[in-house]
């Protein structure tokens, strides 16, 4: 974007920045990562980070019901105790099946990177 108001003495136009460079970090993964204070990667990135192997997000908000604090993942896990017969494929004996957010089609899941 060119600045139409003030050309340089050489006749060139100055480039106007839309957002300051320090705002780029607020739209990257780093802003919501649990490891942002102890990160091994440089924090002075020129571009936002959209992938990071160390990225880990906060487990979620705390739900308060009747004075008892319960995390959202625990509430999902308590929904059913023995549901291994209802899932076909890897989900049938996966340790993450109660808190997993992936869809579970009728034909089952036969490849999953989150399988435990």
This prediction has a pTM of 0.31
Question: What is the arithmetic mean of pLDDT over 73-95?
Answer: 66
Asked, for residue 26, whether it belongs to a domain, the answer is yes
Asked, for residue 27, whether it belongs to a domain, the answer is yes
Q: What percentage of the chain's residues is helix, strand, coil (to nearest 5)? A: 20, 20, 60
Q: Please, what sign has the CA dihedral across residues 24, 28, 31, 37? A: negative
Number of folded domains that form the chain: 1
Residue 104 has pLDDT above 70, yes or no: yes
- 43: containing domain: 2-58
Q: Count other C-beta atoms under 10 Å from residue 30's C-beta.
A: 19
Close Cβ partners of 59 (under 8 Å, ≥ 6 residues apart): 71, 72, 73
More confident residue, 22 or 95: 95
Q: What is the pLDDT of residues 22-76, one digit of tens each?
A: 444 467 788 888 888 888 877 666 788 888 888 887 665 554 444 544 444 454 4
């Amino acid at each position: 974007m060119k600045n139409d108001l003030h050309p340089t003495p050489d006749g060139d136009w100055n480039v106007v920045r839309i957002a300051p460079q320090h705002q780029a970090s607020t739209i990257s993964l780093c802003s919501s990562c649990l490891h942002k204070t102890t990160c091994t990667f440089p924090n002075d990135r020129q571009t936002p980070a959209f992938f990071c192997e160390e990225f880990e997000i906060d487990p979620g908000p705390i739900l308060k019901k009747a004075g008892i604090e319960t995390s959202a993942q625990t509430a999902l896990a308590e929904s059913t105790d023995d549901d291994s017969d209802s899932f076909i494929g890897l989900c049938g004996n996966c340790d993450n099946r109660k808190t997993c957010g992936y869809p579970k089609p009728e034909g089952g899941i036969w490849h999953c990177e989150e399988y435990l």
